[in-house]
Structure 1
Amino acid sequence: MRTKPGNDRGRRWRKGFLLATGTLLPGALLTAAPAEAADYSLAGQNYAGSQIAAHEGVHGSPDLARIDADQTLGHDVSGHQGVVDWKAASGSGARFTYVKATEGTGFVNPQFTAQYDGAHAAGLIRGAYHFARPDVSSGAEQADYFLAHGGAWRGDGKTLPGALDIEYNPYGDACYGKNPADMTAWITDFTRTYLAKAGRSALIYTSTSWWKLCTGNSNRFGNTDPLWLARYAPQVGELPAGWDKQSIWQFSRTGGLPGDQNYYNGPFRRVQALASGPAAAAA
């Protein structure tokens, strides 16, 4: 595209002025400085609970022999697991899984399609989760990015609603430089956008300690977004404000399954109901 003469003269005058005053060195270009790129150097290693375990520790695991029979076993995986043996996972008793799809607005799990489709082929009910980066873009932008890269919900009875993984910042300040009001607003921006575009409320994955620290223990989401709680201990323990129960408890980062272990708080038919749609989930 050719530059208009008037604009070109203005540019040459401005460059000459800056050279004359010493503001611009010879040979320098008159271009705007690009915004600093977000850091995704750890994205391949970040997964649901990676930072919670690092900050809060592991304090044991539940006595599986004493777990209520109405709890449904499942797990979650991300790119760092690589190729997953889904038949073995199903054979070990897993009935559902969540797979990391995205982080921020600049990273897609390169293993996502193989892991997500592989779980489906093995008969597991599966869903996708997004690793939140409130430091790089808005909640709405990240919900859109998640939806565009695997986070959409399908009313096929085999797809769980997407989940927002919001935990300690692996790149710096635990709360991503946000105060509790701003963090709560960011989460609201994400969940409202996801609901409006996917037609389902997203699950919120977090720990009680992080939630207290970074949202001021907000009670805003308990009536709208199911809780996926991370706590590596014999009991579920205290829940974040607003929720009277967890839908999923991530209780272990190790075990016979190919990822972190979880219990859905109810029989398998409740997992099926959550996958089937709002009416079934509310029944």
Structure 2
Amino acid sequence: MELSRIELLVAEENEDRFAGFLAQRVSWGWEVDLSEPGWVRFVIHFEARDRAESLPRDADQAQDFPRNLAGELLRDVRREWPEVVCSESTYEDKDWGESWKEFFSPVRVDDTFLVLPPWLKSEGEVSGLIPLLIEPKMAFGTGHHATTALCLKAVAMLWREGAVSANTGFLDLGTGSGILALACAKLGMTGLALDIDPVAVANAQENMALNEIYQGLAIQKGGLEILDPDRRFGLILANILAGPLVRMALTLARRLESGACMVLSGILEEQAERVENAYRDQGLPAPRRLTDGEWVALIWA
């Protein structure tokens, strides 16, 4: 498989801030090279289809085209970090599948879920936890990123508290790998998972089959605009970014059933108050917060 490799050379004093910047855009991780004094080299790998050459020609084409992940990242770096030195190259990796196995470790979420890849399925069967099988690909959501883990913790907490049950209908907006929707489905809930990225939708459907979920969950390409105008949910999950969550506050609040729960993440601690205020402006109470490092999940229940 042909892969794309992006190298980003960052001044050492900016390492933490730049890592936070990357964490919002690169869910599958990166390499860090400290061999040059005073500098930190971040190395990120993409599948070749995500290189800049694969950009769609027009907006209509873009709706059914895989996201140009590498191009988006380079654009954002050059706009927000003009002092960072960027370079891109390609190479052939015939053992891409095996390389995933070297670093992908199971993720335990409280005493409820265990996120693991298909080749470790047997570990899930003997763990006593609810296994969530995820095929590691470019779609967001393997449980390793703090925001995904926070959302899974929130779902487990709401389930333990009885705030959600098998009778709860859910919406997972921006589903990525489908991991949050799969967690809800395995607890017996029924619902809908949406993503505007066709690659994510395909990955989520693959993971749905891996987990042998054949009913109660629908995965579709699109956003809130494809929903029936009157459809409401007992649980809404959205692990996206602070900006879109603020812009969608009115629309999401209107999609909540009376007494419903909502979990929002993809939010940095410094952004949490802004997001919270956007939803309080819609009449929602102050949410609870779960934190992991600089990341926050807001929980209404």
TM-score of the two chains, using structure 1 as the length reference: 0.31
| Structure whose CA Rg is larger | 1
Q: Which one scores higher on RCO, CA 8 angstroms, separation ≥ 6?
A: 1
TM-score of the aligned structures, taking structure 2 as reference length: 0.29
Decide which structure has greater strand share: 2
